[in-house]
Structure 1
Amino acid sequence: MATSGTEPSDGLKVLHAGLFRMGTRSMAKAYRILGFKTFHALDEPSRVDWVGLEKAAEATWPSVPNARPRPPFTRDDWNELWGNEYDAVCDTSAPFTLELFRAYPDAKVVIVQRDFDSWWPSFRSEIIDNLFTPFFEFQIFLAWHLVGFRAGHAMRKLVFGFFKAGSKTEIEAHGRETYDRFFQELRDNVPPERLLEYKMDSGWEPLCKFLGKDVPDVPFPISNDRKEHAENVGGRRRKVQLAVSKTIALGIVSVMAVGASWWFLV
């Protein structure tokens, strides 16, 4: 897990409300520079509590396909997933921002909203089109049945739940409505003094002022743009293909199923 420092957290302080493919990795780096212990699933996906994330998705959206009945998450549940270890959360936490704010009403919420028309093609091609393919479903099957790895199940339930969908077609049909509803509900429910609408080209000043931090003497981090993300995905795909080939040859396919289940994350 990605942390900055080793002291235990006393609860979440920063809820980053930017969806996948909206600069989450840059913002995670920025929060760490400012001294926050920050969760970002891409940093060490093999150490993420995917079972806990899957439970959160089922508790938040009971209608997701194959969901097991669960009561709504409490602050204790969110603490177990993130709050006991981190100060700030990004990426896979974003769809739960409103629920998290209700559990942590003293937290500050940072919205980063990319224009829908530029964001949706990127999200669709690099997240949806990878999560909902026969190849990925096969990898999910291997990862779970051979080594008990739930990343694929968790991500699919998270995406289905967030978009109130039961299929890839429904996700695409609900895309714009979900995007608009997500940001509007935050504006309607988070008090203005606890909400920052941050622009990625704004630099340190507005973020530091909002979070009560001194402006650091380093450039604002910019990473994981479309080219870098494509290179990361391509590299992971090649590693997965090589791993699968070696696994088949050695007869130990379970070892490689883990790595194959998370290459799509942003």
Structure 2
Amino acid sequence: MSAAFEILGFNTYDYVENYYFLYNDWLKVFKGKATVDDFRRMYKGVDAVVDTPCFHYWEELHQAFPDAKIILTVRDEDAWLESLRNQNARMNEDYFLWALFLLTPTCWLRHSYYLTISRFSTQITQWPRHSRKLFNEKMLRNMFKGHNDSVIQKAPRDKLLVYKVSEGWEPLCKFLGVEIPDKPFPHKNKGGQAVNELRETNQIMKKIVRDCGLSVLGYSVLLSFVGYKLYKSNAASLAWSYIQ
């Protein structure tokens, strides 16, 4: 959906944008201290929001933006669970990703946000890696069904589209009042490949990777300096012992 919105020309905040730009604001939300005005400020100039944590707070967001349209994407429950399982398994195996978390100040600052988001998904998170016991399947299925039921029951009928991405552009563009683009409907995160795709295409992820490289360079220079000072200190002590 994020890729589709971008093709349609909408300024879209996906997980990465919320993580990078709004982590402090979301920490305030998580503590129950945010107001409707906070949500309005957070998403001033933003056309669409997708993914966690936004879908958990769809009612608060709609209160802040009552004219906004709501799109509930639905899919087969088993396929969704398997996709989520695959994505987190790939994250467990992605040592470069964990290097970013461990070595990049950008990620250190957002660690509390990341842990809270993990709990939203009922994952059992351990640092610096996810636990292998990622899922309470029953809780996840209940969350999946409960969210869908809540949106369908509570969202204003004239503002809601219940949508399967397999339906393609036509119902989506008709609902949004925009022309159908001359491009195939995008299919991202195939087989849980979201992290790899983001690393290759997302400008924020590219910046975090660059920051990691600079951090590694800085650590190397610091360790080299400390090693040199220790070497000089030991050499001086050894020379003094010979003189005595």
**TM-score, normalisation: structure 2:** 0.66
Check whether the contact 1:75–1:104 (CA below 8 A) recurs between aligned residues. no
Aligned equivalent of 2:26? 53
Equivalent residues in 2 for 1:38-49 (5 A)?
38-42=12-16, 47-49=20-22
Q: Who is 1:181 aligned against?
A: 146
Q: Report the 3-state secondary structure (helix = DSSP H, G, I; strand = E; otherwise coil) of the residue aligned with 1:91.
A: coil
Judging changes above 3 Å, is the alpha-carbon distance between structure 1 residues 150 and 218 closer, same or farther for their aligned structure 2 residues?
same
Q: How many residues align?
A: 205
- For 2:117 and 2:19, the matched residues in 1 are separated by 18
SS of 2:181's equivalent in the other structure is: coil
Corresponding residue for residue 77 of structure 1: 38
Q: What's 1:251 paired with?
A: 222
Contact kept, 8 Å, 1:140 with 1:150, in 2: the verdict is: no
Q: Which has the higher helix share?
A: 2
1:57 aligned partner, one-letter code: F
Structure 1 range deviating more: 201-210 or 103-112: 103-112
Q: Whole-Å Cα distance in 1 between the matches of residues 110 and 220 of structure 2?
A: 25
The aligned residue for residue 211 of structure 1 is 176
Segments of structure 1 that go 5 or more residues without pairing to the other structure are 1-26, 60-70, 253-266
Percent identity between the two aligned chains? 26
Q: How many angstroms does 1:149 deviate by? A: 4.3
Distance 1:148 1:228 in 2: 21
Deviation at residue 139 of structure 1 after TM alignment: 7.0
Structure-1 separation of matches of 2:89 and 2:71: 25
CA contact (8 A) 2:122 2:140 kept: yes
The TM-score with structure 1 as length reference comes to 0.61
Change beyond 3 A, Cα 1:142–1:215? closer
1:194 equivalent to 2:159? Answer: yes
Secondary structure, aligned partner of 2:66: coil
Name the Cα RMSD after superposition: 3.8
State which structure, 1 or 2, has the greater radius of gyration over its C-alpha atoms.
2
1:36 aligns with 2:1: no
Measure the CA separation in 2 of the matches of 1:79 and 1:34: 22
Q: CA deviation at 1:55?
A: 2.0
User: Which amino acid in structure 2 is aligned with residue 181 of structure 1?
Assistant: G
Residue 177 of structure 1 aligns with an amino acid whose one-letter code is N
- Aligned mates of 2:49, 2:115 — CA distance in 1: 20
The one-letter code sitting in structure 2 at the alignment partner of 1:212 is G
How far off is 1:33 after superposition? 2.8
Once residues 85 and 179 of structure 1 are traced to their aligned partners in structure 2, the CA distance between those partners, rounded to angstroms, is: 30
Residue type at the aligned position of 1:56? V
Which residue pairs with 1:18 in the alignment?
Answer: none
Which stretch has the larger CA shift, 163-172 or 205-214?
Answer: 163-172
- The residue type equivalent to 2:2 in the other structure is A
In 1, Cα distance between equivalents of 2:14 and 2:182: 23
CA distance in 1, matches of 2:23, 2:89: 18
Q: Which residue in 2 is equivalent to 1:87?
A: 47
Unaligned runs of 5+ in 2: 224-244
